[in-house]
């Protein structure tokens, strides 16, 4: 190829790679597969290898520099990087709003650009003539550290601005953070290698960005959202903050898609509530929201106080982490006899509720985190998940803290506690003799995905066991309205509804029934596979480890658990009683005639369905001999998409997976 042609080819490849990066990272709307991207990338790499003189620093291949730094150098910010004042309540927000109206001398409703407050670190990135020249941390707001090499490794940050209409000098500001999934994976790997884990995504992001070796930063799952501009020369930015963000996005930067424009305090509060409720569904941590007066002219009128603008404020969410003291540790016994250490805490307000217990998971975890009774600890409650002890504050440890010991006897029934070599979990050996295990086993049996007994919730099971009305799941079918109605908070009506629901449960599918038995490690899918393979309960009971291991997803451990379960006389007795009570298995609609078209196919379900629930759709699909998976890949055969189908739908389209609706599913099932 002639030199000109090579240059042309290289330019073209770079252009394509930049565009596809942008589609992928910024618009979240890729046009090509990862492997196609890799192919283009390798082609460019090869050409650059053959013609090193044509390599430029803004080439997509030049993200990771080879030489680690000795130390970070200091950078003077061209314009100070300010911080934000906080409000913690609607009253304080009202006061902020009033101050703004007063200063502007207006009663008019003020328009705000509202954004999540990302929990990462602020960075400044400067472009000259469209090329990334410098990136810096916020530091003290005036001087930061030069992290250019590290920022270049973030794929979502363009090395060159897109398009050809951009400022001579552009400073973009935003937050670098680590998405939750990446953080969990990073810590999982660290744990596996016996290395130190990061305390939270924020610390992980900070630690990753402050690496002298950009090769390390490149391996960390960092992301960035831009939330403003700093110095701009040779260009007139639009007159509203929201429009500036749109322009920044067009130049190639990721901007948070939750951001929007609202009117007045009311609009701000609604945004706050929405995000607070959706906080856990976001892929990244946020610690509040930020309201910014949208009109730049008004921002300029309002100006600054000390280090923060008067035109913006952060509205903080309740903290998800608080410090408190471990008063004592108890052990709870679960359905399978697993003993879980639970910390009794000095009550503390965290994540919007008062927390006085937190799980310690198991003794390995207690040792790993070096938790003692009397320790000051950080309790974390994120969303609806069970509060947990995140870590000990070692600097506050006193000399009289006490060790936590695994009891030798079950705290509920007194049977011996066993711990198998290499297993983190210790178990009560009492089996169904243990009241705790009985209660938990009955709760599981009645639960939605098992026998789905309407109205028989955890509390009621506890009441029934406490009152001595039931000892095993078979006893449920002997209950009568009178004795149930006599329980506290029950009446004739709810008692007879319960008995009715129990009677309805006499006709489960075999798969649900197997799952409901609560055999260790036999989840929904395994139960279904077992039901499909053995077709009758009798055959399953008589199976041995060898035949069990022929079943998909069943390995030696599960096979052992199944055999062990049916070898125990008390389990067989209960099953016999259940059959005597009238349990009969529903024949799967198409069990004998497996649907030819669907047998062995893989489905993914997304969005809101209308003619059935997702569980019902899943049952139907599985009954036809197909599998239901939770994540979409090239191996998926069908995506069943309901209303408001989101990213899975776009991914399916991208991968060429067949997308069907509920009606089309019914047709396939016929
Ligand atoms: S604007 C003049 N917007 O919060 C306003 N900051 O407390 C300067 N932050 O240092 C910042 N999300 O690290 C802004 N959407 C957002 C933000 C945000 C997170 C951080 C940023 C800043 C700190 C100020």
The domains of the chain are located at: 3-62, 86-315, 321-396, 438-580, 602-669
The pLDDT assigned to 384 comes to 67
User: How many angstroms separate the alpha carbon of residue 541 from the centre of ligand 1?
Assistant: 62
- Burial class from Cβ neighbours inside 10 Å (0-12, 13-18, 19+) for residue 493 reads exposed
318 Cα–ligand 1 center, Å:
18
pLDDT in tens, 166-219: 999 999 999 999 999 999 999 999 988 988 888 889 999 999 999 999 999 999
Domain 321-396 bears CATH identifier 2.40.50.140: yes
CA distance 652 to 670: 24
The CATH number of 602-669 is which of 3.40.930.10, 3.40.1180.10, 3.40.50.10190, 3.40.640.10? 3.40.50.10190
Q: Above 90 in pLDDT, residue 506?
A: yes
Instruction: Count the helix, strand and coil residues of the chain and give each as a percent rounded to the nearest 5.
Output: 40, 20, 40
Is 631 a residue whose pLDDT tops 50?
yes
- Bigger pLDDT: 501 or 633? 501
In this prediction, residue 593 carries a pLDDT of 52
3-state secondary structure 42-75: HHHHHHHHHCHHHCCCCCHHHCCCCCCCCCCCEE
Burial zone of 578 (CB within 10 Å; 0-12 exposed, 13-18 middle, 19+ buried): buried
Q: What angle is formed at CA 421 by the lines to CA 419 and CA 425, rounded to 5 degrees?
A: 45
Q: Are 653 and 618 in contact (CB under 8 A)?
A: no
Ligand 1 pocket: which residues have CB below 6 Å? Answer: 82-84, 115, 117-118, 122, 138, 175, 227-228, 290, 309, 312, 314
Instruction: Compute the average pLDDT of residues 281-294.
Output: 95
Predicted confidence at residue 422, as pLDDT, reads 77
What are the Cα distances from residue 154, in Å, to 244, 251, 258, 449?
22, 16, 21, 42
Whether 3 is a known active-site residue: answer: no
In this model, does residue 589 exceed pLDDT 70? no
pLDDT tens digit string along 53-62?
999 999 999 9
pLDDT average, residue stretch 443-469: 94
Q: Which fold has domain 86-315?
A: D-amino Acid Aminotransferase; Chain A, domain 1 (3.30.470)
Q: What percent of the chain has pLDDT over 70?
A: 98
**Which own/partner contact pairs does 187-196 have at CB distance under 8 Å and 24+ positions apart?**
none
Which segment of 83-87, 134-138, 421-425, 615-619 scores lowest on mean pLDDT? 421-425
Query: Residue 385: what pLDDT?
Result: 74
* 321-396 and 602-669 agree in CATH topology: no
CATH number of 3-62: 1.10.287.610
For residue 628, pLDDT beyond 80: yes
The residue nearest atom 1 of ligand 1, judged by CA position, is 227
| Residue from 275, 291, 283, 298 nearest 227 by CA | 291
Class for the domain spanning 438-580: mainly alpha
> According to the per-residue pLDDT averaged within each range, which of 238-242, 352-356, 599-603, 645-649 is highest?
238-242
**Catalytic one of 117, 240, 627, 651:** 117
Beta strand pairing call for 602-606 and 627-629: parallel
Predicted local distance difference test score (pLDDT) of residue 591: 45
**CA angle 518-523-525, nearest 5°?**
140
Measured in Å, residue 96 CA sits from the centre of ligand 1 at 17
Q: How far is the CA of 311 from the centre of ligand 1 (A)?
A: 13
Q: Give the confidence band of 592 by pLDDT, cuts at 50, 70, 90.
A: very low
* Mean pLDDT for the chain overall: 92
């Amino acid at each position: 190829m002639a030199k000109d042609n090579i240059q042309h080819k290289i330019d073209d490849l770079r252009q394509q790679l930049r565009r596809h990066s942008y589609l992928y990272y910024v618009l979240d709307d890729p046009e090509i597969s990862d492997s196609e991207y890799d192919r283009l990338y390798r082609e460019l790499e090869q050409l650059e290898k053959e013609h090193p003189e044509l390599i430029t620093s803004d080439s997509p291949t030049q993200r990771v520099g080879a030489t680690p730094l000795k130390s970070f150098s200091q950078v003077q910010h061209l314009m100070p990087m300010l911080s934000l004042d906080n409000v913690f309540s609607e009253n304080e927000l009202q006061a902020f709003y009033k101050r703004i109206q007063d200063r502007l001398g207006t009663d008019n409703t003020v328009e705000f650009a509202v954004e999540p407050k990302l929990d990462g670190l602020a960075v400044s990135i400067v472009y000259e003539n469209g090329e990334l020249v410098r990136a810096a941390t916020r530091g003290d707001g005036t001087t930061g550290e030069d992290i250019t090499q590290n920022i270049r490794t973030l794929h979502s940050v363009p090395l060159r601005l897109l398009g050809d209409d951009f400022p001579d000098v552009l400073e973009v500001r935003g937050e670098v953070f680590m998405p939750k999934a990446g953080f969990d994976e990073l810590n999982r790997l660290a744990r596996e290698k016996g290395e130190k884990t990061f305390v939270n995504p924020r610390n992980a992001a900070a630690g990753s960005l402050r690496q002298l070796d950009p090769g390390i930063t490149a391996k960390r799952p960092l992301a960035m959202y831009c939330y403003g501009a700093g110095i701009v020369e040779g260009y007139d930015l639009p007159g509203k903050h929201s429009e500036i963000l749109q322009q920044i996005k067009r130049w190639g930067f990721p901007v948070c898609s939750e951001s929007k424009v609202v009117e007045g305090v009311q609009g701000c509060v609604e945004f706050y509530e929405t995000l607070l409720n959706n906080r856990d569904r976001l892929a990244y941590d946020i610690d509040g929201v930020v309201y910014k007066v949208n009109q730049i002219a008004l921002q300029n009128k309002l100006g600054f106080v000390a280090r923060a603008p008067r035109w913006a404020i952060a509205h903080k969410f309740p903290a998800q982490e608080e410090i408190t003291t471990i008063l004592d540790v108890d052990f709870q016994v679960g359905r399978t006899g697993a003993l879980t250490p639970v910390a009794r805490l000095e009550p503390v307000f965290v994540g919007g509720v008062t927390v006085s217990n937190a799980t310690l998971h198991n003794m390995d975890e207690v040792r790993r985190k070096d938790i003692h009774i009397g320790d000051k600890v950080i309790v974390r409650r994120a969303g609806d998940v069970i509060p947990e002890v995140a870590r000990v504050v070692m600097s506050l440890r006193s000399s009289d803290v006490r060790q936590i010991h695994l009891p030798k006897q079950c705290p509920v029934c007194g049977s011996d506690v066993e711990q198998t070599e290499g297993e983190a979990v210790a178990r009560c050996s009492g089996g169904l003799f243990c009241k705790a295990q009985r209660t938990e086993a009955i709760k599981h049996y009645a639960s939605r995905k098992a026998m789905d007994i309407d109205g028989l919730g955890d509390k009621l099971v506890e009441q029934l066991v406490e009152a001595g009305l039931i000892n095993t799941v078979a006893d449920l079918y002997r209950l009568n309205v009178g004795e149930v109605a006599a329980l506290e908070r029950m009446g004739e009506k709810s008692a007879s509804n319960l008995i009715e629901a129990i009677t309805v449960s006499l006709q489960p599918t075999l798969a649900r029934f197997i799952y409901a038995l609560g055999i260790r490690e036999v989840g929904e899918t395994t139960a279904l596979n077992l039901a499909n393979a053995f077709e009758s309960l009798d055959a399953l009971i008589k199976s041995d480890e060898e035949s069990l291991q022929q079943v998909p997803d069943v390995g030696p451990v599960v096979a052992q658990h199944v055999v062990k379960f049916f070898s125990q006389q008390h389990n067989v007795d209960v099953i016999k009683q259940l059959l005597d009570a009238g349990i009969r298995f529903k024949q799967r609609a198409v069990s004998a005639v497996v649907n030819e078209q669907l047998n062995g196919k893989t489905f993914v379900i997304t969005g809101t369905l209308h003619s059935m629930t997702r569980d019902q759709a899943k049952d139907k699909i599985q009954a036809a001999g197909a599998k239901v998976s939770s994540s979409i890949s090239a191996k998926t055969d069908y995506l069943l998409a309901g209303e408001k189908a989101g990213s899975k739908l776009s991914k399916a389209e991208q991968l060429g997976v067949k997308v069907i609706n509920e009606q089309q599913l019914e047709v396939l099932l016929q």
